[in-house]
Amino acid sequence: MKVLIHAKAAISLICFILVVSQLAGCASAAKSTAMMAEDVEVKHRHPYSVLVQVSGGHDTGALDATQISNEAFMEALVDSIETSKLFAEIKEEGDADYLLHVTLLDLEQPTFGASMKVSMEAAWVLIDRGNGETIWRKGISSQYTAGAFDAFAGVTRIRLATEGAARINIKMGLGVLSNLDL
């Protein structure tokens, strides 16, 4: 009888741990508000309109770690340009003086760990829409580490680190863009 009670308790405990571990493993997508760069150092403000495009992002699947979607990154990028006033006008479609296209590339995330370091790379291109000429292009790499005490759940720390890497990427990209003399 005693053995039976212990077995029941053990099975219940295993079920509980499995359910909790599964729930804890549900990743959420990177949020645009957390990826927005608020403190961009702007050297030159450009009195032109810019069309912004983002590609290469992924939606976060049920079994994935946090991913960055095109929509979320674009929203963060547009908000960052607006806040920094880097361009006079921002468009998400239609005519504009310049096209800024950002392609999200390699997103390197750890599987587990106390502090989580995420690295990412994005290809930034600025095209003059008047003549189709590529004015500037650069691969920008960034990384961010979420500390062990930033969040209890590992998946949350990965999300924070992913958002941090994206935020730094946007800050670096806009910083270099502001150095251009258009």
Partner 1 sequence: MRSQYKILAIILSLLLLGGCAVNRATSQIMPGTDLDVLNKFYVVKFIPDGRGINKLISNRLNEMGHPATTGPESMAPEGIDVIVTYKDKWMWDITMYMIELTITFREPGTDYPLAEGNSYHTSLTRKSPEEMVDEILTNIFSGNTDTQ
Q: Which residues bind partner 1 (CB under 8 A)?
A: 4, 7-8, 11-12, 14-15, 18-19, 22, 55-56, 58, 61-63, 101, 103, 105-106, 108, 121, 123, 125, 127, 134, 137-139
Q: Which is nearer to partner 1, 7 or 148 (CB)?
A: 7
H-type alpha helices, the chain: 2-24, 32-35, 70-84, 154-178
* Shortest Cβ 38–partner 1 spacing (Å): 27
Q: Using CA atoms, how far apart are residues 7 and 48, in angstroms rounded to an integer?
A: 71
Q: Which is nearer to partner 1, 53 or 83 (CB)?
A: 53
Compute the C-alpha angle 166/171/173, nearest 5°: 90
Is the sign of the CA dihedral 13, 19, 25, 30 positive or negative? negative
Looking up tokens 């340009």 gives: 81
* Shortest Cβ 18–partner 1 spacing (Å): 5
Closest Cα partner for 136 from 145, 126, 144? 126
* Shortest Cβ 9–partner 1 spacing (Å): 10
Q: Which is nearer to partner 1, 53 or 178 (CB)?
A: 53
* Shortest Cβ 130–partner 1 spacing (Å): 15
Q: Using CA atoms, how far apart are residues 153 and 142, in angstroms rounded to an integer?
A: 23
* Shortest Cβ 156–partner 1 spacing (Å): 20
User: If residue 51 lies in a helix (H) or strand (E), which one and from where to where?
Assistant: strand 46-55
Q: Which is nearer to partner 1, 139 or 147 (CB)?
A: 139
Q: Which is nearer to partner 1, 85 or 138 (CB)?
A: 138
